[in-house]
Chains A and B, each alone.
Chain A
Amino acid sequence: MPTIVSVDDSTVPGEGSSRLLLLVSSDNKHIVVEEDIMSRSRFISKQVEGFEATSQRHAILLPFSSFVLNKVIEYCSHYRGYYLLEDDPDAAPPGRSPVREWDQEFLDVDRNMLLRIIKAAHYLEIKSLVGSCARAIADMIRGKTTEEMREILGVENDFTPEEEHSPSSKCTG
């Protein structure tokens, strides 16, 4: 279970059309965000259901930095109200359909940031963002040689020389 910290009601602004959530990042930044925006995250939705059961307001502690969290919130804000197949495959698609090209621009970040975003999206269970990040990472290494893939993603070659050159360990196609 994630760590949930009870907070004073005054920490959270008053309720409007959409309830507000308090998210706390690993660098101890408090970020208030509308519940509607974060409803794309199944993790957050489950937490909110838990709040309703205890009728108590909570802050949700998240194990990633405010920089990453803000990026995730930006993504969720952009697609607020949109139907995305990956996040809700059972729902009937409404009329509006987003332009996913926006994702490409949104994810035009360095490798480390991209990896942090995909991890955060995975933690928060935002499948559409996981998919977009995975596609972006795949695009970074598509058509590259093995060595280039290692270089681009900073992966160490941990094969022993025997394994690397053994005909049985690899198919050269």
Chain B
Amino acid sequence: MDSGADLNEDNPAQFWSTTVYGRLSRFCDAERHGSAELCASVRQALRAERAAMEAELRTLDLRIFALSPAHPSRLPPEILVHIFSYLFAVRTDLSCYSTKHLQLAIEQSARVTHVCQRWREVALGAPLLWRNIIVPLKSEEWSRTIYNRAQLVPIVLFWLRQKEWSLAPGQRQAPPLPIEDLARVEQLKLASYDGEADALAKLLRTPAPILEVAEVFCQHVDMSPADLFAGHAPRLRSLFLNQFPSFPWNSPILSNLVCLEIRNDRMNVAGHASPDSVLHALQKMPALEALALCNCLPKFPRDSAVLEALIVVPSRLRLLELHGSLRDCVGFCQHLIFPAAGINLALRCFTWGVATGFRVLWPIIVAAGGVSPAPFVAFDFSMQSSEYLALMAQRTAARGAAPLPKFAWGTSNHSLELDLEWNHRVGWNAVDLMRELCKTLSVQGLRKLDVDIADAPPGARTQEVTVNDWLEIFGSATDLRDVQAWGFAAQWLCRALLMVTDDGQTWHSILRRPSHPWDFFFLPKMHTLRLGGITEELCYVFPEEGLQLGDLLVLALRTRAENGAPVRDLELSHATHALEDELPDVVDSVYVDEYASPRDEEVRFGVREPDANE
């Protein structure tokens, strides 16, 4: 600030007339007589002076504020707005299904304006606080009020799933909207049901000049894909479409996308795009970092010279998720060249013959990534049976008659999850698949393992994880810390922990030689162990000897603790509390859940009762 004159606090009028106007007159002269350069420099000097004066004013404001009492009603507006912004905040990751949270947020904002005059004045004077427009609220008037309070700031529009969704289609009513177009919408999160489809389609057909994020559940929306945002959404960065019948791959709205997710119901796949249109579109999306194509992959022909030359190099891609038939996933990956590192890959392929399918798919993935699977920071893989579709159809036909069969097989962020329940029903050898995957991926860096074979039917043992499987497949998983095993897997894991072979020979040798040198531990770094799904059949490891699983566990954990490889946390379901008494000296934390199904009530996974004759 020019120090040529001091602010005369006694006579501000004189200060302004003598000092400020004097200086202004200099500038007026410059405007009248000066060159363009002089005017520019004067403008610059004025701006600098204004900035300095604003800084001075702010300092004065702060001093006044600091000397005022600390009382909430006297907090300066900046602080109150800051507090309100947390109160009004709607989590940006919320979808249009989070009705309750959104409703609470908007009710909270209403209450703030009723606390006192000052709070009301501050809240209503901050349009940004009102940018979340939620439809439907309790009344159309309230939606409009919020919209008006937002004044001209960009808004986030949530169109919630209605409470009346269970009504018959003809009875549903579209909620009144405070807007007719998307001109001011920066983020759009919509879920439509058939009663609302027309209103939603009308809105989605309007241009979206400032739209950055769109998340739309489009069920029942009948609109031409090319009409989406009238082809005008130049700032669109993230697009999430759910149940959109045919995606507009040739639309100009795609060019700046950073994230694209299209998720369709597998049972209702329609309107597949052609492979070349998808690949051409992806070639024109240089900023793409995340891509999820779920049940909307194009159908790739077996041989096509035209397609062969179409290669997509998504240089910024960090996340790729594909759901679809093995052939389409393979076909798609064959046209990709992944960046050098840092890819998070998730695949859900359905096919006949899972292990074979994996052998087909994996080399393609490796080729897309270069020469090794090194680019992948996380790998989540699942193959699902084509019979799944048939079962889903059956289930749909007789809703509630049969539970949804579970099947999953995958890895995620250094954890491997294996659920073999459904595998038994379709006769796949999941152990072979697991062995194949572990060979390919190497389990050395694996930190967490979850193996579930809880409901394997009788007679399925030969295809499940045996002790030798454990030792062979996971013997090299020296970094494994957290292990969860259910059912048969739990029993075999306990035996593997003691390296008890299937015929029990090692066990007998341990009994004979208590000072067995424990120079090797299976899973030496394991510190968390959860075992569950132990049935009557599994309680006895060697039924003829009456030896319970609990005995093995106690011996294994005690021996590990004595030899520097302790398990810290232990969780057991369907176990007796006797185990809790046995283990506290070797385990830091034991949690026992005695839950058991009625038929198993009399047998509990625990420690063997001492035999009087022994």
Q: Identify the A interface with B (CB < 8 A).
A: 1-2, 43, 63-64, 112, 115-116, 118-120, 122-123, 130-131, 134-135, 137-139, 141-146, 149-150, 153-159, 164, 170-173
Is the Cβ of A156 less than 8 Å from the Cβ of B116? yes
Please provide the 3 A-B residue pairs with the shortest distance between their CB atoms, ordered closest to farther: A138-B86, A134-B82, A63-B66
Residues on the B chain within 8 Å of A123, using CB? 62, 65-66
CB-defined interface of B89-108 with A at 8 Å, one 1/0 digit per residue? 00000000000000010111
B116 touches A143 (CB 8 A): no
By a CB distance below 8 angstroms, the chain A residues around B119 are: 155
B48-82: CB near A (< 8 Å → 1, else 0) gives: 00000000100100110111001111011011001
How far, in Å, is B575 (CB) from chain A's closest CB?
A: 34
Whether the Cβ atoms of A146 and B115 lie closer than 8 Å is yes
Residues from chain A with Cβ under 8 Å of B118 in the complex: 158
Which chain A residue shows the least CB distance to B137? A173
Please determine whether A173 and B110 come into contact, CB atoms closer than 8 angstroms: yes
* B115–A149 CB distance below 8 A: yes
CB nearest to B70 among chain A residues: A115
Are A155 and B83 in contact (CB-based, < 8 A)?
no
Residues of A within 8 A of B139 (CB): 173
In the complex, which of the residues A115, A116, A157 has the most CB atoms of chain B within 10 Å of its own CB atom? A115
Residues of B within 8 A of A141 (CB): 87
Give the complex CA separation of A63 and B69 in angstroms.
11
Contact yes or no, B86 A119, CB < 8 A: no
User: B166: which A residues are within 8 A, CB to CB?
Assistant: none
Instruction: Output the nearest chain A residue to B73 by Cβ-Cβ distance.
Output: A155
Give me 10 A-to-B residue pairs in the complex whose CB atoms sit less than 8 angstroms apart, sorted by A's number.
A119-B65, A130-B79, A134-B83, A138-B87, A142-B108, A144-B111, A146-B115, A156-B73, A157-B115, A173-B110
Answer whether residue B145 sits at the interface, using C-beta atoms and an 8 A cutoff: yes
Task: Chain B residues near A170: list those with CB within 8 A.
Answer: 110, 113-114
Given A119-B79, A134-B79, 13 further pairs, Cβ under 8 A: A43-B62, A118-B75, A119-B66, A122-B78, A123-B65, A137-B72, A155-B115, A156-B73, A156-B116, A170-B113, A171-B113, A173-B138, A173-B139
Contact between chains at B110 and A143 (CB < 8 Å)? no
Q: Which residue of B lies closest to A111 (CB)?
A: B72
> Which chain B residues border A158 with CB–CB below 8 Å?
116-118
Alpha-carbon distance between A152 and B63 when the two chains are bound, in angstroms: 27
Residue of A nearest to B146 (CB): A171
CB distance A142 to B87 under 8 Å? yes
Contact present for B114 and A154 (CB under 8 Å) = no
Q: A173 contacts B70, CB within 8 Å?
A: no
Q: Which residues of A contact B82 (CB under 8 A)?
A: 130-131, 134
CB distance from A28 to the nearest CB of B (A): 16
- Interface pair A154/B72, CB less than 8 Å apart: yes
Q: Which residue of B lies closest to A118 (CB)?
A: B79
Interface of B is mostly: helix
Complex Cα–Cα for A154 and B73 (A): 8
Residues of A within 8 A of B117 (CB): 158-159
Q: Does B142 contact A (CB under 8 A)?
A: yes
Measured between beta carbons, the chain B residues less than 8 angstroms from A1 are 56, 59
Q: Is B152 an interface residue (CB 8 A)?
A: no
A2 to chain B, nearest CB (A): 7
In the bound complex, CA of A88 to CA of B8 (Å): 37
In the complex, what's the smallest C-beta–C-beta distance from A27 to chain B, in angstroms?
14
Docked CA distance A123–B65 (Å): 8
Complex CA distance for A115 and B76, rounded to whole angstroms: 11
The residue in chain B whose Cβ has the minimal distance to the Cβ of A139 is B86
Cα A141 to Cα B72 with chains together (Å)? 12
Among A138, A153, A154, A171, contact of B110 (Cβ-Cβ < 8 Å): A171
Contacts of A135 in B (CB 8 A): 86
Cβ-based interface call for B112 (8 A): yes
The 0/1 profile, CB within 8 Å of A marked 1, for residues 557-582 of chain B is: 00000000000000000000000000
B111 touching A146, Cβ below 8 Å: yes
A153 with B87: in contact, given A119-B66, A143-B104 (CB under 8 Å)?
A: no
A122-B78, A157-B115, A170-B114 as given contacts; A63 in contact with B67, CB under 8 Å: yes
A64 → B minimal CB distance (Å): 7
Nearest residue in A to B104 (C-beta to C-beta)? A143
CB-CB nearest in chain A for B81: A134
Do B67 and A173 have beta carbons less than 8 Å apart? no
Please name all residues of chain A whose beta carbon is closer than 8 Å to the beta carbon of B87 when the two chains form the complex: 138, 141-142
Which residues of A are found within 8 Å of B71, using beta-carbon distances?
115, 154
Q: What are the interface flags for B295-314 relative to A under an 8 Å C-beta threshold, 1 for contact and 0 otherwise? A: 00000000000000000000
CB contact under 8 A between A116 and B70, given known A63-B63, A155-B115: yes
Interface digits, B134-158 against A, CB 8 Å rule (1 contact, 0 not)?
0001110110011000000000000
Give, as a whole number of angstroms, the nearest-CB distance from A158 to chain B.
Answer: 5
Q: Report the bound CA distance from A146 to B44 in whole Å.
A: 49
A149 partner residues in chain B, CB cutoff 8 A: 111-112, 115
Residues of A within 8 A of B108 (CB): 142-143
Taking a contact as CB atoms under 8 Å apart, the answer to whether B115 and A164 are in contact is no
Name which of A112, A120, A131, A171 has the most chain B CB atoms within 10 A of its CB.
Answer: A171
- Identify which of A2, A64, A115 contacts B72 (C-beta below 8 A): A115
Chain B residue numbers with a CB within 8 Å of A115 are 70-72, 75
User: Closest CB-CB distance, B324 to chain A, in whole Å?
Assistant: 38
Q: How far is the CA of A49 from the CA of B40 in the complex (A)?
A: 29
User: Once the chains are docked, how many angstroms separate the CA of A64 from the CA of B66?
Assistant: 8
Q: Which residue of A lies closest to B82 (CB)?
A: A134
B142:A2 contact, CB within 8 angstroms: no
Q: Report the separation of the CA atoms of residues A119 and B106 in the bound assembly, to the nearest whole angstrom.
A: 27
Closest Cβ of chain A to B520, distance in Å, is 37
Interface readout for B442-462 with A: 1 if CB under 8 Å, 0 if not? 000000000000000000000
Expressed in whole angstroms, the Cα–Cα distance for A135 and B86 within the complex equals: 6
Q: Which residues of A lie under 8 Å from residue B63 when comparing CB positions?
A: 2, 63
In the complex, which residues of chain A have a beta carbon less than 8 angstroms from the beta carbon of B70? 112, 115-116, 119
Bound state CA distance, A115 and B429, in angstroms? 65
Q: Is the CB of A122 within 8 A of B76?
A: yes
Q: Find chain B residues with CB under 8 A from A116 CB.
A: 70
CB proximity of A1 to chain B, nearest CB, Å: 6
Q: How far is the CB of B161 from chain A (nearest CB, A)?
A: 18
A117 smallest CB distance to B (angstroms): 9
Closest to A125 in B: B62
Which B residues, 206 to 255, have Cβ-Cβ distances below 8 Å to chain A?
A: none
Shortest CB-to-CB span from A18 to chain B, Å, is 26
For the complex, give the distance between the alpha carbons of A29 and B112 in Å: 38
- What residues of chain A lie closer than 8 Å to B76, measured between beta carbons? 122
Chain B residues in 8 Å Cβ range of A118: 75, 79
